[in-house]
Amino acid sequence: MSAPVIQGWCPGALRPMMSGDGLVVRVRPRGGRLTPEQAAGIATLSLRHGNGLIDLSSRANVQLRGVTEAGHRPLIEGLSALGLIDETTEAESHRNIVVTPFWSDGDGIQGIVRSLAAALTGPDAPDTPGKFGYAVDCGAAPVLSAVSADIRIERAVDGGLVVRADGAGTGARATAAAAAERALDLARWFLDSGGAPERRGRMAAHLARGANLPPVFTEVSASPHPAVDPVPGLVAQGFLVGFEFGQMRAESLSLLAGFGPLRVTPWRMLLIEGAGAVPEIAGLITGPDNPLLRVVACTGAPGCPQGLIATRTLARRLCSALAPGNLLHVSGCAKGCAHRGAAPLTLVGRVGGTVDLIRGGTATDSPCQTGLDPETLTFHTLTETAHAS
Is residue 256 domain-shared with residue 319, that is, in the same domain? no
Record the pTM: 0.92
304 in a domain, yes or no? yes
Q: How many angstroms separate the first and last alpha carbons of the chain? A: 28
195 in a domain, yes or no? yes
Instruction: Give the span between the Cα atoms of 314 and 379, in whole angstroms.
Output: 10
Is residue 214 domain-shared with residue 233, that is, in the same domain? no
How many degrees, rounded to 5, is the angle at CA 18 between CA 328 and CA 199? 85
The backbone torsions φ and ψ at residue 95, rounded to the nearest 5 degrees and listed phi first, read -80, 65
Report the pLDDT value the prediction gives residue 283, as an integer from 0 to 100: 87
Is residue 333 domain-shared with residue 378, that is, in the same domain? yes
Q: What is the mean pLDDT of residues 175-184?
A: 97
Bridge partners, 220 (sequence order): 171
Residue 276 has pLDDT above 90, yes or no: yes
Is residue 112 domain-shared with residue 174, that is, in the same domain? yes
Q: What is the mean pLDDT of residues 170-190?
A: 97
Q: What is the mean pLDDT of residues 255-262?
A: 97
Q: Which residues have C-beta within 8 Å of that of residue 35, sequence separation ≥ 6? A: 261
The confidence band for 303, taking pLDDT boundaries of 50, 70 and 90, is confident
- H/E stretch holding 71: helix 69-81
Instruction: Give the span between the Cα atoms of 349 and 354, in whole angstroms.
Output: 6
Is residue 74 domain-shared with residue 124, that is, in the same domain? no
25 in a domain, yes or no? yes
Range of the domain at 242: 17-90+229-273
27 in a domain, yes or no? yes
Q: Are strands 161-165 and 151-155 parallel, antiparallel or unpaired?
A: antiparallel
The confidence band for 337, taking pLDDT boundaries of 50, 70 and 90, is confident
> Do residues 262 and 43 lie in contact, with contact meaning Cβ atoms separated by under 8 Å?
no
Total domains, the chain: 3
Q: Which residues have C-beta within 8 Å of that of residue 194, sequence separation ≥ 6? A: 206, 211
The confidence band for 350, taking pLDDT boundaries of 50, 70 and 90, is very high
Instruction: Give the span between the Cα atoms of 74 and 172, in whole angstroms.
Output: 44
> Do residues 52 and 46 lie in contact, with contact meaning Cβ atoms separated by under 8 Å?
yes
Residue 280 has pLDDT above 60, yes or no: yes
Report the pLDDT value the prediction gives residue 1, as an integer from 0 to 100: 37
Report the pLDDT value the prediction gives residue 133, as an integer from 0 to 100: 97
- End of a domain among 189, 221, 253? 221
Give just the sign of the alpha carbon dihedral 276, 146, 333, 66: positive
Instruction: Give the span between the Cα atoms of 52 and 48, in whole angstroms.
Output: 8
pLDDT tens-digit profile of 54-96? 999 999 999 999 999 999 999 999 999 999 999 999 999 999 9
Is residue 309 domain-shared with residue 377, that is, in the same domain? yes
Residue 338 has pLDDT above 90, yes or no: no
Is residue 112 domain-shared with residue 211, that is, in the same domain? yes
- End of a domain among 177, 194, 221? 221
> Do residues 272 and 217 lie in contact, with contact meaning Cβ atoms separated by under 8 Å?
no
Is residue 154 domain-shared with residue 256, that is, in the same domain? no
Instruction: Give the span between the Cα atoms of 48 and 308, in whole angstroms.
Output: 30
The whole-chain average pLDDT of the chain stands at 92
CA-based radius of gyration for the chain: 21
181 in a domain, yes or no? yes
Instruction: Give the span between the Cα atoms of 186 and 183, in whole angstroms.
Output: 5
Q: What is the mean pLDDT of residues 249-271?
A: 97
Report the pLDDT value the prediction gives residue 323, as an integer from 0 to 100: 85
Instruction: Give the span between the Cα atoms of 339 and 333, in whole angstroms.
Output: 12
- H/E stretch holding 311: helix 311-319
User: Residue 371's domain is classified under what CATH number?
Assistant: 3.30.413.10
Report the pLDDT value the prediction gives residue 16, as an integer from 0 to 100: 95
Residue 3 has pLDDT above 70, yes or no: no
Helices (H) and strands (E) in the chain, counts: 9, 21
Is residue 314 domain-shared with residue 377, that is, in the same domain? yes
User: Residue 42's domain is classified under what CATH number?
Assistant: 3.90.480.10
Q: How many CA atoms lie within 13 A of 87 on its CB side?
A: 6
Report the pLDDT value the prediction gives residue 2, as an integer from 0 to 100: 45
How many degrees, rounded to 5, is the angle at CA 350 between CA 344 and CA 353? 110
Is residue 253 domain-shared with residue 300, that is, in the same domain? no
216 in a domain, yes or no? yes
Report the pLDDT value the prediction gives residue 266, as an integer from 0 to 100: 96
3-state secondary structure of 136: strand
217 in a domain, yes or no? yes
**pLDDT over 70 percentage in the chain:** 95
pLDDT tens-digit profile of 106-163? 999 999 999 999 999 999 999 999 999 999 999 888 899 999 999 999 988 777 899 9
Is residue 234 domain-shared with residue 214, that is, in the same domain? no
Question: DSSP class of residue 285?
Answer: B
98 in a domain, yes or no? no
Report the pLDDT value the prediction gives residue 322, as an integer from 0 to 100: 87
Is residue 186 domain-shared with residue 242, that is, in the same domain? no
Residue 387 has pLDDT above 80, yes or no: no
pLDDT tens-digit profile of 185-209? 999 999 999 999 988 999 999 999 9
